[in-house]
Amino acid sequence: MDKKKKLRSSEWFGDDGKMGFVHRSWLRNQGYPDDYFEGRPVIGICNTWSELTPCNGQLRDFAEVVKKGILEAGGVPMEFPVMSLGETIMKPTTMLFRNLASMDTEESIRANPLDGIVLLTGCDKTTPSTIMGACSVDLPTLVVPGGPMLSGRFRGEKVGSGSMNWMIKERQENQGYSAADIREAEVCVARSIGHCNTMGTASTMATMTEALGLTLPGYSSIPAADSRKKMYAQLSGRRIVEMVKEDLTLSKVLTRNAFENAIIVNAAVGGSTNLIIHLTAIARRIGVDLKLEDFDTIGSKIPLLVNMKPSGKYLMEDFYYAGGLPVVMKELTPLLHPETVTVNGKTLTKNYEDTICYDTDVIAKLEKPFQEKSGIAVLKGNLCENGAVIKPSAASPKLMKHRGRAVVFETMEDYHERIDDPNLDIDENSVIVLKGVGPKGYPGMPEVGNVDLPKKLLAKGITDMVRISDGRMSGTAAGTVVLHVSPESTVGGTLAVVQNGDWIELDVHKRTLHLDIDDAELAKRKKAWIPPKPVADRGYVKLYIDHVEQADLGADLDFLVGGSGSKVERDLH
């Protein structure tokens, strides 16, 4: 940092008059000595710990470890809470509140005397929401990811703490699971601190955070219960102080090349489709022009290098023991932008040049991948004019080109009421169409796109069908599921006028999704369509419905795109 450049916190603490007295005095009741206010960098520790967010339960302890590192490096740690988003607890969906949490993060950072930021994250939306908020302020920022749980063990089977969710109905129907069996499985699946241990959204976002260059190299793969997680937390505390001195802000790390690297890495690890919405929103906050099509053109030809659920058989603990993300990054070096800068001040090339793979059944070589092409396919057609997405690595190859008769559910409630009706006119060749679960419609775009199949088809041994919706699906889930249909049904996209019995054609190779009706009939249906009433008329939910953008734009609030920077012109007295 330029010696002439003043610390941002000095605008609060460096004044010898009344306002300096005000800003320092009330902090004195915490027992802080004089040198805390005399030119030491103030580091904000943004903590998403909450007892209502079980995946982040360890972050209270992690904060104390980060503080040690900050103090050792000569900084002043200031921990603050922000809204936490418990994926497994909150209704109707944490995605509804991602943008609210980003606002909380942004304004907490901007309004306070902070020179650098450490984001303590874990559960799905806590990572993108805090990064989005921090991007809109653009201070030196580093992420401490909370880490995945240890592998689940149930009756001799290795089970994922997310993927097991999607097996419950099938096992109840086909294996006779009792209530007692379910209770036992619950404990066995989630047996340690940390977030989901598959390559679901939490692990995907942690992995992408490292691929973007926002964590210390190697940090994202370590299980939450491993002692090395705390060691890295302490080192992160030290490093953020140096980043402030170097003025290494988010905008210097999050370049276009960094986002392209993240797309490539996401494909190679079989990451969640949810990354698309989160990475797009982050890019639009920091001012990088990232399009939905980029996820296909950049990522769809990337080979799958990681054999992990839901695209494979292993879990995050196995991934770490095999060498973790550093091995993947080294393998991908010929495909990445290797000279991008990361938060440790070094390039990707330097960070991962000495890594070793310890298990090629978990992490493959680039020349011998588990799949030749992975990533995300972006579909276009009259059923999704602005785009839709599918994850080929988690889908059934035989369904990647499919023509089927639509079985339509107008709402989630309609689906729950009728899906297991033995008289429902549905077979394995049908296409399940779910409406009203997009950003405005639900509201919040929940992870319901991978809806369970009907009991009568599960009983026949059917485990996958084509499913289409304007919602999302959990990154822990698998199936031939078309998601993020845009425009969504609630705003009058073509999905809104699909009827039972319509024929739908999916061709992933050609990147098309088509409703087989002529243009005149489509125009007639749209003209007769009546918009549903909004589900809220007050508070944040109304604000969200009024201002949320469509999935292809990242589902951010339109007035939050971009940033306001770190400068606050007016004081409090």
In a domain, 262, yes or no: yes
Rounded to 5 degrees, φ, ψ at 550 are -75, 165
| Pair (233, 277) in one structural domain | yes
Pairing of strands 401-409, 157-159: unpaired
In a domain, 359, yes or no: no
| Pair (256, 162) in one structural domain | no
| Pair (146, 259) in one structural domain | yes
In a domain, 549, yes or no: no
Partnered with residue 120 across adjacent β-strands are: 47, 144
| Pair (310, 206) in one structural domain | yes
| Pair (180, 61) in one structural domain | no
Q: What is the dihedral of CA 58, 61, 62, 68, to 10 degrees?
A: 180
| Pair (82, 144) in one structural domain | yes
3-state helix, strand, coil in the chain (%, to 5): 40, 15, 45
| Pair (178, 209) in one structural domain | no
Instruction: Collapse the DSSP code of 200 into the 3-class scheme (helix H, G, I; strand E, B; otherwise coil) and give the result.
Output: coil
In a domain, 322, yes or no: yes
In a domain, 421, yes or no: yes
Give the torsion sign (CA, 209, 215, 218, 219).
negative
Instruction: Collapse the DSSP code of 350 into the 3-class scheme (helix H, G, I; strand E, B; otherwise coil) and give the result.
Output: helix
**C-alpha span between 437 and 248 (Å, rounded):** 40
In a domain, 572, yes or no: no
| Pair (219, 78) in one structural domain | yes
In which domain, by residue range, is 318 found? 40-150+197-351
| Pair (464, 495) in one structural domain | yes
**C-alpha span between 39 and 31 (Å, rounded):** 18
How many domains does the structure of the chain reveal? 4
Q: What is the pTM assigned to this prediction?
A: 0.96
- Last residue of some domain: 189, 214, 236? 189
**C-alpha span between 277 and 551 (Å, rounded):** 6
In a domain, 555, yes or no: no
| Pair (319, 433) in one structural domain | no
Give the torsion sign (CA, 54, 60, 65, 67).
positive
Would you give the distance in Å from CA 171 to the centre of its chain?
28
pLDDT tens track, the chain, 573 positions = 455 579 999 999 999 999 999 999 999 999 999 999 999 999 999 999 999 999 999 999 999 999 999 999 999 999 999 999 999 999 999 999 999 999 999 999 999 999 999 999 999 999 999 999 999 999 999 999 999 999 988 887 888 776 666 667 767 777 778 888 878 878 778 889 999 999 989 999 999 999 999 999 999 999 999 999 999 999 999 999 999 999 999 999 999 999 999 999 999 999 999 999 999 999 999 999 999 999 999 999 999 999 998 888 899 999 999 999 999 999 999 999 999 999 999 999 899 999 999 999 999 999 999 999 888 999 999 999 999 999 998 899 999 999 999 999 999 999 999 999 999 999 999 999 999 999 999 999 999 999 999 999 999 999 999 999 999 998 777 899 999 999 999 999 999 999 999 999 999 999 999 999 999 999 999 999 999 999 999 999 999 999 999 999 999 999 999 999 999 999 988
